[in-house]
Chains A and B, each alone.
Chain A
Amino acid sequence: MSTEDLLPLGGRFEEPDDAPGEKRLGAMQTIQIPRRRFRDTDVLDFAIVGVGSAGGVLLQRLARAGFRVVGFEAGPFWDTERDWVSDEAGSHKLYWNDLRITGGEHPLALGANNSGKGVGGGSVHWAAFTPRFHPSDFEVYTRDGVGADWPLTYEDIEPYYGLLEREMPVAGPAWFPWGKPHGYPYGPHPLGGVGDTLVKGCTKLGIPVCAGGPVAILSASHGDRPHCIYRGFCIQACKVGAKASTLVTHVPDALKCGAEIRDCCMVSRVSLDRYGLTDGVHYFDAQGREHFQRARTVIVCGYALETPRLLLNSACPGHEQGLANSSGTLGKYLMAQAGNVILGRFEELVRMYKAPPAHALTEEFYETDPKRDFARGFAVQTVAPLPIAFARQMMAAKGLWGWGLRRAMMDYNHWSTLGVLGEILPWEDNRIEIADGHDGRHNAQDRFGLPVAQVTFRLHDNDKRLIEFGKAKVMEIMSAAGALEVAQESRYAHLVGGCRMSLTPETGVCDKFGRTWDVPNLFVMDGSVMPTQGSANPGLTIQALAARTADHLISCPDHVTKRSFDEPPCRKELSPPGTFGRGVPHVA
């Protein structure tokens, strides 16, 4: 049967016409991509490097406030109908698949695990769990004598949590009991098989548990975005448009407000003028030609590997060890979260491929417990790997291959999976460098001839003890839920740190708004600025920090020359239209 014989089912879902400049964002949204708005010789107010979670929010805020702003994105501007598929292997292009070197005693898997490429960045393929950080996360050093304190408090970021939870918006329970209790604006999702497992196991053990969120997936339609259809392909990018990504939540409004996005443009270095201020960025366009874009202020939003890499590759006289690295901390204090997956086989069918993988969690073990032999804690969350990921977990967890692997996989529908999300502390020796061939480092370049990132990672004692405890606890939950067999796979999730914010110029790369200590008009804003990471998925906090930095920039028109530490007013009027004030939570 050829494609032509098939009856189209609902015309709008079929292959879109090739209208030049028109992109589909989810099943309902269509936008016109404007052509170039600015010349390289125009002096932009802001050049934003990387249009992902943070870059998308900054672009929208700054454009809505009337600034001349361009977002540079190394990957493409997606058309979700044409470019995305409901398929695991076919979603390979969503990730940063270019070469990176990973090493150390406990090397991190990169690529699909923790990176994005293309407008929307990692928010295109995140599972979309959106827990807030706890108040304790901002003062880990003060409370526990480990890690670091943030140069800001929970109260500083709290209004932005509330704001972004409406802008995405987030579905979840009316009462979320952990950290500072709050509620969510959209109703919780129905549970799939893995959520049932978590709720059943926790309930049996008397562990409080929360079902149906918090997750940035629509449980009801919202403007031009339809509700979730529970197809389970969240981390393969949401074709439906129900899951929030900055591509569907913030980029359309940014473009409407005059922002420009230059996709398939790779920024190669940040330029400094003779006064030690940045005056723009060098970049390669889709054809590999090099350009220089002038800008008054540069904000680097390339996430935990590409941001330090760009600053290291931007070394220049006066900044020989990398741009904004007078503290020597650039690239250091990289963190991943422990992401061990606990797999349980059940007598009854689970069919975990249905429903979003992210839909139930407990943060009962989040805080430091003096009865345990480690600082900080972990969350337990649902995960739900599709067949390829699950087969690889069976290989890793049970050493399977051959007929043993085939046999285990025939029981795919009988397995349920839960994830540990554990806080790994920031350590100086966990780092990103560039593979420039010096000091024993590898020598590897990308297709533009730029040295690639080289990552070195190892677990320290506190991390190991935390992981052992977390693993055992989740295996206990899995058994309590009735699993006949329990296995586990060690892995890591997320990446933050590398350009941490600090109270003083000696201890970090940037201040509490992401302004680098060394170059006043160079900002960093993404997961790399985090001094610690808690046991919460970082996406919501990254976007909240970005919105706060936008308010800071808007409040200080003379920010190029003047550093201010005043907390800016939270500008709710800059939310994308139709989001603020909609979906009021029961507990705000």
Chain B
Amino acid sequence: MSKRDQLVSNPPVAEVSKPRVQPGYYPGFSTMAQERFWDAATRRVVRQRVNGDKPIRFFTPDEERTMRSVVDRIIPQDDRVKARQVDLLAGIDERLFERRLEGYRYADMPPDQDAYRLAAKAFEQMAREEHGLSFHQLGTLDRERLLKSVHDAEPKSAKGIWKLLNIERFWTMLVSDCCGVYYAHPWVWDEIGFGGPAYPRGYMRLEEGEPEPWEVQELRYEWAAPPDTLTDREEAHGTGQEHQTHPGQGGTH
């Protein structure tokens, strides 16, 4: 079977319950396969993300257990085979351990490190108060409901801890940090069809969303999130504006 045939024979509907090596609409696309066209400094930085396990140095074992089951719901990866999942918590841990700041702290927030420790404690206490279990022992839906209450800035428990920080800013930092790890990974660039590093070669086909000769065509398929999750439903996110409590973080212009 030729490569092109393989692409076309991709099933039109995918079930997340059957994990894939590479989810997304760009079957066969691999940014890492292009690494010989990148400059040495970039190659080194990107390779470090793919190679090797990263140690947990900031979080305690208890905090690690809780926070792993938190970030696992912020960016779920059940559709990825284990070997192709991105270690979100290790990336966050590295930032906190190395005391890497984004250049500022909100006047109504403790230092990032303290905020994460407080939050780990709060998540655990919420699980205890509302379910009588440890956070990591909860099922997907229960964990998501607790997280949703934090997303909405309306936690029903552990209020004493959440009072110590601005809960909306914490939520934004948590999701931002997860995005900063997940969408920095070349496997995820493959998932979303991002071309990745492009120096010294550059891009040639700028208009009409056309792929470079080394990129692939999009091949869309319908997929459904697992039935035991609420984050693929509209209600999990709200209408947007009501949730934007502080300005965007990135430099775009």
Which of B37, B225, B231, B249 has the most C-beta atoms of chain A within 10 angstroms of its own C-beta? B249
Shortest distance between the CB of B222 and any CB in chain A (Å) = 11
CB interface residues, A 493-518, toward B, < 8 Å = 493
> How far is B218's CA from A419's CA once the two chains are assembled, in angstroms?
27
Q: Write the chain B residue with the least CB distance to A114.
A: B251
> How far is B242's CA from A490's CA once the two chains are assembled, in angstroms?
12
Shortest distance between the CB of A365 and any CB in chain B (Å) = 16
Contact of A399 among B107, B203, B243, B252 (CB under 8 A): B243
Which of B40, B191, B248 has the most C-beta atoms of chain A within 10 angstroms of its own C-beta? B248
Counted as pairs of residues, one from A and one from B, with CB atoms less than 8 Å apart, the total is 311
Docked-complex contact A383 and B232, CB < 8 angstroms: no
Contact with A along B195-206 (1 / 0, CB 8 A): 101111111111
Shortest distance between the CB of B90 and any CB in chain A (Å) = 14
Contact of B248 among A191, A387, A393 (CB under 8 A): A393
Shortest distance between the CB of A257 and any CB in chain B (Å) = 30
Docked-complex contact A388 and B225, CB < 8 angstroms: no
Please give, as numbers and ranges, the residues of chain A lying within 8 Å of B192 by CB-CB distance.
387, 409-410, 412-413
Please give, as numbers and ranges, the residues of chain A lying within 8 Å of B46 by CB-CB distance.
87, 90
Docked-complex contact A493 and B199, CB < 8 angstroms: no
> How far is B39's CA from A266's CA once the two chains are assembled, in angstroms?
31
Docked-complex contact B253 and A401, CB < 8 angstroms: no
Docked-complex contact B151 and A393, CB < 8 angstroms: no
Docked-complex contact A89 and B41, CB < 8 angstroms: no
Please give, as numbers and ranges, the residues of chain A lying within 8 Å of B37 by CB-CB distance.
9
Task: Say yes or no: is B27 at the interface (Cβ < 8 Å to chain A).
Answer: no
Task: Say yes or no: is B100 at the interface (Cβ < 8 Å to chain A).
Answer: yes
Please give, as numbers and ranges, the residues of chain B lying within 8 Å of A537 by CB-CB distance.
253
Task: Say yes or no: is B3 at the interface (Cβ < 8 Å to chain A).
Answer: no
Please give, as numbers and ranges, the residues of chain A lying within 8 Å of B236 by CB-CB distance.
401-402, 404
Known: A193-B206, A399-B239. A112 touches B250 (CB 8 A): yes
Known: A10-B200, A109-B249, A413-B209. A102 touches B74 (CB 8 A): no
> How far is B232's CA from A393's CA once the two chains are assembled, in angstroms?
18
> How far is B230's CA from A387's CA once the two chains are assembled, in angstroms?
24
Contact with B along A394-409 (1 / 0, CB 8 A): 0111111111111101
> How far is B109's CA from A102's CA once the two chains are assembled, in angstroms?
10
Contact with B along A405-431 (1 / 0, CB 8 A): 111011011000101010000000000
Contact of A109 among B74, B247, B253 (CB under 8 A): B247
Task: Say yes or no: is A42 at the interface (Cβ < 8 Å to chain B).
Answer: no
Known: A107-B107, A355-B206, A403-B225. A113 touches B41 (CB 8 A): no
Please give, as numbers and ranges, the residues of chain B lying within 8 Å of A92 by CB-CB distance.
100
CB interface residues, A 218-240, toward B, < 8 Å = 229-233, 235, 239-240
Known: A3-B40, A406-B75. A354 touches B195 (CB 8 A): yes
Which of A100, A387, A389 has the most C-beta atoms of chain B within 10 angstroms of its own C-beta? A387
Docked-complex contact A101 and B195, CB < 8 angstroms: no
> How far is B182's CA from A487's CA once the two chains are assembled, in angstroms?
22
Q: Write the chain B residue with the least CB distance to A129.
A: B253
Contact with B along A45-86 (1 / 0, CB 8 A): 000000000000000000000000000000000000111111
Please give, as numbers and ranges, the residues of chain B lying within 8 Å of A419 by CB-CB distance.
252-253
Task: Say yes or no: is A147 at the interface (Cβ < 8 Å to chain B).
Answer: no
Docked-complex contact A90 and B198, CB < 8 angstroms: no
Task: Say yes or no: is B149 at the interface (Cβ < 8 Å to chain A).
Answer: no
Complex interface: stretch among A271-279, A292-300, A343-351:
A343-351
> How far is B39's CA from A87's CA once the two chains are assembled, in angstroms?
11
Docked-complex contact B207 and A410, CB < 8 angstroms: no
Shortest distance between the CB of A201 and any CB in chain B (Å) = 16
Which of B104, B201, B236 has the most C-beta atoms of chain A within 10 angstroms of its own C-beta? B104
Q: Write the chain B residue with the least CB distance to A108.
A: B247
Q: Write the chain B residue with the least CB distance to A359.
A: B206
> How far is B23's CA from A416's CA once the two chains are assembled, in angstroms?
22
Contact with A along B36-69 (1 / 0, CB 8 A): 1111111111100000000000000000000000
Contact of B103 among A15, A86, A110, A389 (CB under 8 A): A110
> How far is B198's CA from A230's CA once the two chains are assembled, in angstroms?
9
Task: Say yes or no: is A19 at the interface (Cβ < 8 Å to chain B).
Answer: no
Please give, as numbers and ranges, the residues of chain B lying within 8 Å of A455 by CB-CB distance.
104
Task: Say yes or no: is B244 at the interface (Cβ < 8 Å to chain A).
Answer: yes
Shortest distance between the CB of B191 and any CB in chain A (Å) = 7
Task: Say yes or no: is B101 at the interface (Cβ < 8 Å to chain A).
Answer: yes
Docked-complex contact B75 and A392, CB < 8 angstroms: no
> How far is B112's CA from A47's CA once the two chains are assembled, in angstroms?
36
CB interface residues, B 146-200, toward A, < 8 Å = 147, 151, 172, 175-176, 179-180, 182-184, 188-189, 191-195, 197-200
Which of B24, B107, B191 has the most C-beta atoms of chain A within 10 angstroms of its own C-beta? B107
> How far is B127's CA from A86's CA once the two chains are assembled, in angstroms?
42
Known: A395-B179, A405-B75, A491-B248. A96 touches B103 (CB 8 A): yes
Docked-complex contact A389 and B252, CB < 8 angstroms: yes
> How far is B209's CA from A353's CA once the two chains are assembled, in angstroms?
10
Please give, as numbers and ranges, the residues of chain B lying within 8 Å of A401 by CB-CB distance.
74-75, 147, 151, 175, 231, 236-237
Known: A103-B108, A407-B232, A454-B107. A229 touches B100 (CB 8 A): no
Known: A10-B200, A82-B41, A233-B198. A402 touches B75 (CB 8 A): yes
CB interface residues, A 84-122, toward B, < 8 Å = 84-90, 92, 95-104, 106-115
CB interface residues, B 203-222, toward A, < 8 Å = 203-211, 218
Task: Say yes or no: is B5 at the interface (Cβ < 8 Å to chain A).
Answer: no
Shortest distance between the CB of B151 and any CB in chain A (Å) = 6
Please give, as numbers and ranges, the residues of chain B lying within 8 Å of A113 by CB-CB distance.
248-251
Docked-complex contact B100 and A97, CB < 8 angstroms: yes
Docked-complex contact B229 and A403, CB < 8 angstroms: yes
Task: Say yes or no: is A125 at the interface (Cβ < 8 Å to chain B).
Answer: yes
Q: Write the chain B residue with the least CB distance to A90.
A: B45
Docked-complex contact A193 and B202, CB < 8 angstroms: no
Docked-complex contact B248 and A400, CB < 8 angstroms: no
Contact of A229 among B25, B203, B240 (CB under 8 A): B203
Docked-complex contact B200 and A353, CB < 8 angstroms: no
Shortest distance between the CB of B147 and any CB in chain A (Å) = 8
Docked-complex contact A233 and B199, CB < 8 angstroms: yes
Known: A357-B253, A386-B194, A412-B194. A492 touches B247 (CB 8 A): yes
Known: A396-B172, A402-B236. A231 touches B199 (CB 8 A): yes
Q: Which 3 A-B pairs give the minimum distances between C-beta atoms?
A: A111-B103, A402-B231, A349-B209
Which residues of A come within 8 Å of B, CB atoms?
Answer: 3, 6-7, 9-10, 13-15, 27, 81-90, 92, 95-104, 106-115, 125, 127, 129, 190-193, 196, 229-233, 235, 239-240, 339, 341, 348-351, 353-355, 357-358, 381, 383-393, 395-407, 409-410, 412-413, 417, 419, 421, 442, 454-455, 487, 489-493, 537
21 intermolecular pairs with C-beta atoms under 8 Å apart: A9-B200, A86-B198, A100-B103, A107-B106, A193-B207, A229-B198, A355-B206, A388-B180, A396-B244, A396-B249, A397-B240, A401-B151, A401-B231, A403-B225, A404-B231, A410-B25, A412-B192, A454-B107, A487-B240, A490-B244, A493-B251
Query: Given A83-B41, A109-B246, A229-B199, list of 19 further CB < 8 A pairs?
Result: A86-B198, A87-B42, A112-B249, A112-B250, A230-B206, A339-B252, A351-B193, A351-B210, A358-B253, A395-B176, A395-B179, A396-B248, A401-B75, A401-B151, A402-B73, A403-B229, A409-B191, A442-B107, A491-B248
